[in-house]
Structures are given as C-alpha cells and as structure tokens.
Amino acid sequence: MADALNSAENPYPVLGWLRRSPSAKALAQIAARSEPITHELLDTLPQGTTTRHVRSLLVVAGVLPERNEHLARLERWVTSELPRLPGHQVTIVRPFAEWHVVRDARRRATRGRYTHGAASGDIKDVQAAIKFLTWLDERELQLASLEQADFDLWLTSHPTQHVVIGSFIRWVAARRLTSSLELPRRGRSFAVNFQTTHEYDQQLRRCLNDSTLPREVRIIGALVRLYALPIAKIIEITTDRFHQDDTGSYLTIDRHPVLLPPRLGQLIKDQIDQPRTTTRMRRALDESSPYLLPGKFPHRPRNPHGVGNLLRQHGLPVLSARNTAMIEAVTTLPPIVVADLFGLSPSTAETWARYANDSWTHYLAART
C-alpha cells in the first residue's frame, strides 16, 4: 500500500488525503491491528463509504485479491440477518438462503454475470420468506398445514410480494415442507414505453453532438440508443473492448466487434485517454482502472442507479429509449445477429422480433 501511495505521479493529492481523509485514518487503524488484513476482517467493520473505499484501495495495491462485491454483499447480509431470527424460522430460512439463494448466486458469479441488481433481488427473496414466516407466527399458523386460503390471504395483504415470494414457496413445496400452493399467474407483460421518432432522433443527436453534456452522459446515452444496452452492462465495459484501425472504431459488446459512429468512437477514445474522475486522489491512485466509466471507488465501475439518475437529470430517459432502440434493431437486422452483437439470448431477440412484427398496433399507438 505504501508503494502504491509513493508511486502516484502527483504526490500532493496523496498528502492531502493522508492528512484529512477518514479513509486514511481507517487504513491506519486497520494496519495497526495484529490480525492479517483480509476481506473477512473488513467485513466485520461498518460497511459504509469509508470501508468500501479502503477495500478498493487495498485491492488496487494488491494487498487483497479481487472478489465479486455484489456476491459478498449478499453473503454478508445473510450472515448478519439469520442470527436475528427465532430458532424455528432459522431452521427453514437458513437452508433456503444458503443452499438455494446464495449457492445459485455463486454459480452466476462464477460465470461473471452477478450484478448489483441481482444481489438486491436475491436479498428481497430471502426478506419475503422471513416476512411470510413472521406473518404465519402472528396468526399461529404452521407451514406444514398451510392451506391455499391462508396463502391467498397473505397475497391479498401483501400485494407487492407476489413475485418475490414465489422462489420460497416453490422451494418449500419441492421439499414437502408445505402442501402444493398455487402462485398467482403473472400475465406476460412486454415493453409499453417507447419514444417517438422525433424524440429518439433528437436525443441521439444530443448525445453525439452536444458538448455541454458531460462526456460520460453522452457515451452512455448513445450506447443505449444505438445498441439497446442496459446500464448494468454499459458500466461493466472495460477499455480493452475498444479498438481503432484504418476501417473505424469498434467496441466489443459481447463476442463480436460492433462498428461505432465516428463521433461516438472519438468520445470513447477521449474517455480512455483522459478519464474524468471525481477526486484528485482517485486519479492519483487509479490510473490503470480497467473500466471505461470508473466509479467513485478505485478499480470499480460507476453505480448503475447513480448513472440512471444522471441521465434522467439531463433529459435522457433510459427505458423508453432502450425499447425503441431494440425495435429499430430487430426490424433492420435478423434476430440472431442482434443477439450476437448486443449480447442477448437468441430467444429474447426472437421474442422482440415477433413483438415488432405481430404487435405493430401497440407500438404505433405508443409512438403517437
């Protein structure tokens, strides 16, 4: 860590950080402890901004190995939440959380696609199970003798839990911990928010040409509108996925390079050459960040929720623009090509293509 601080090109931000930053004080306290510095040690500390910043610094310096922080967040939450439950609830929630939810999350993390949103969804699944068991206790009901009428009452009194409770109910039913219960059927919903041609074209021109917009906003907004990319995928793009040659600028979104418009290619090149970071200390210690859009903490990408809010503040909605871009893509390219270029599953691309061809009345109504 000392070597990383000493090797900063500009020493003055480092000196100011050492004198005034809470992260520097926390780092000194950790270094003064007799235990080895590990992720597990940091997990025992309050998980605020200071701890996250110190962890990022130690990873950048090579003191700690990299890990999937979204998966770690889920594991940490489960570990801290289970001891608070009554014993009879723990016997049910623990195997559901550890052997079903967390184990599946680890498999997804191994494949490299476990995001902030995925961790939040898994936590909500376990929270729904806890709420359901607490509701049963309050009414002196047993899971083993639960009837459909009782479950319907839960659904009626907890309308926001219809989706998240499904994972737990299917799990307990498969293990015969309760009778087979019928879950509410969800109507297959599809995209309903679109932009008009004028809105779509005007916002795309702003992203490519309006120099008053922050460069990160222009890049993200253009990638959403040209390639229908979700923010969660955009923030994970690394700089090694961009390259230029005599034929133009290319970005590898999934497996195959995609040709970029010249203006967007130049924006991305400028972002790689001169990334805009939030603090001087951030620039001093994280020159080698692999991400196209570096986040607040060293060696981490930007937060997807913060990016979405930033785009909306500049009048660039995400969902409607992405839906419109997807319709434009599947009506001009074969679905399998869209899937290969944009990193979609073939079935998703095919579903969009059928929607575009078979449901023009909904699309046209939305546009008008």
Q: Within 10 Å of residue 108's Cβ, how many Cβ atoms?
A: 16
Q: Which residues pair with 301 in a beta bridge?
A: 294
In angstroms, the CA 26 to CA 102 distance is 30
Distance of CA 241 to the CA centre of its chain: 19
At how many degrees (to 10) do helices 103-110 and 116-138 cross?
170
Which residues on neighbouring strands pair with residue 251, listed in sequence order? 242, 258
Instruction: Give the span between the Cα atoms of 355 and 155, in whole angstroms.
Output: 31
Neighbouring-strand partners of residue 243? 250
Tell the burial category of 365 from Cβ atoms under 10 Å away from its Cβ (0-12, 13-18, 19+): exposed
Nearest to 226 by CA among 272, 264, 268, 269: 264
- The Cα–Cα gap between 120 and 122 comes to 6
Q: In this structure, are residues 217 and 204 in contact, taking their beta carbons and an 8 Å threshold?
A: no
pLDDT of residue 368: 62
21: tokens are 């930053």
CA 130, 132, 134, 137 torsion: positive or negative? negative
CB 292 within 8 A of CB 239: yes
At residue 274, the pLDDT reads 80
Hunting for tokens 């460069």 — which residue is that?
A: 215
The number of C-alpha atoms within 13 Å of 298 and in the hemisphere containing its C-beta is: 25
Domains of the chain by residue range: 2-67, 70-174, 197-367
CATH code of domain 197-367? 1.10.443
Query: Do residues 301 and 293 lie in contact, with contact meaning Cβ atoms separated by under 8 Å?
Result: yes
Q: SS in 3 state form for 296-313?
A: CCCCCECCHHHHHHHHHH
At 362 the pLDDT is 54
pLDDT value, residue 286: 53
For the chain, give the secondary structure using H, E and C: CHHHHHCCCCHHHHHHHHHHCHHHHHHHHHHHCCCCCCHHHHHCCCCCHHHHHHHHHHHHCCCCCCCCHHHHHHHHHHHHHHHHCCHHHHHHHHHHHHHHHHHHHHHHHHCCCCCHHHHHHHHHHHHHHHHHHHHHHHCCCCCCCCCHHHHHHHHHHCHHHCCCHHHHHHHHHHCCCCCCCCCCCCCCCCCCCCCCHHHHHHHHHHHHHCCCCCHHHHHHHHHHHHHCCCHHHHCCCEHHHEEEECCEEEEECCCCEEECCHHHHHHHHHHHHCCCCCCHHHHHHCCCCCECCECCCCCCECCHHHHHHHHHHCCCCCHHHHHHHHHHHHHHCCHHHHHHHHCCCHHHHHHHHHHHHHCHHHHHHHHC
Q: Phi then psi for 284, rounded to 5 degrees?
A: -65, -35
Q: For the chain, 368 residues long, give each residue's pLDDT as a single digit of tens.
A: 888 788 877 788 888 888 988 989 999 999 898 889 999 999 988 888 888 888 988 888 888 998 888 999 999 999 999 999 999 999 999 999 999 999 999 999 998 778 888 999 999 999 999 999 999 999 999 998 889 999 999 989 988 888 899 999 999 999 999 888 888 776 556 667 888 889 999 999 999 999 999 999 999 999 999 999 999 889 889 889 999 999 999 999 888 889 999 999 999 999 988 876 555 555 555 555 688 888 777 677 888 888 989 999 999 999 999 999 999 888 888 888 888 888 888 888 888 888 877 544 555 566 66
Q: How many CA atoms within 13 Å lie on the side-chain side of 328?
A: 18
Q: Which amino acid is it at 250?
A: Y
Q: 269 near 245, Cβ under 8 Å?
A: no
